[in-house]
Amino acid sequence: MSDKTESGFPIGAVAQTLRKILYPALTEHQVEAIMVLLMSHLLIEQKINHVLYDWLKQDAPCPPEKAQEVLQAENSLWETIVRMNFSNKFSLLKPFLAIDFDQDVKHVIQINELRNTVFHGRDIEGAKFQGKSIFEEETVERIFLKAQEVGFNLNKFSEMVDSFHADAEKNAKELAEWKRNLTDESKSRE
């Protein structure tokens, strides 16, 4: 077995070798910082995908006798959401998210703009988050922590959206219990 790929790159170091060819000036630390940025952006995007999916799905008609069609519709909804670009997805949430989580909206915009700056090659070396180089340790940590905070608050936002449905279900159960009790009382009086 060869220790090189078909193209001649060393097995186990293809990505590192290609990165050194494409961006030889980047240090290992800079590459790691960029990876943290990418993963932080991905964390936010995955949360946004789930919030949109859950929000849109919860009021969709789901007749039990059409379970297969409902499943296909849910899969289609998910595929549509994940194919949308980040800005379009976020623009759907932004007006409502900003009501209670305005700082998170700002952080999402900052992280997305930074991701675009770095990944579209506009200014990798000069990229900054909140005025500091993305290659400083404190900035790498701040990017990750802000992304985690946004993710946490997107979960809260999702719970807020769902709270109306949860309250309606609770009220429906209480109403059914009252009806049952009234029916039982009425029967016991007879």
Counting other chains too, the contacts that 102-106 makes at CB distance below 8 Å and 24 or more residues apart are: 104/149, 104/150, 104/153, 104/154
CA dist 137 and 33 (Å) reads: 8
For residue 68, what pLDDT is reported? 93
Report domain extents, the chain.
Answer: 14-161
Four-CA torsion 49, 53, 56, 57, nearest 10 degrees: 180
pLDDT digits (tens), the chain, 190 positions: 678 888 888 888 888 888 788 888 888 899 899 999 999 999 999 999 999 999 999 888 888 899 999 999 999 999 999 999 999 999 999 999 999 999 999 999 999 999 999 988 778 889 999 999 999 999 999 999 999 999 999 999 999 988 776 666 666 677 777 777 777 777 777 6
Burial of 146 (0-12, 13-18, 19+ CB in 10 A): buried
Q: What is the DSSP letter of 10?
A: B
For residue 172, what pLDDT is reported? 67
Q: What is the DSSP letter of 4?
A: B
Residue with tokens 């590459």: 31
pTM to 2 decimal places: 0.79
CA dist 135 and 24 (Å) reads: 16
SS3 133: strand
For residue 17, what pLDDT is reported? 83
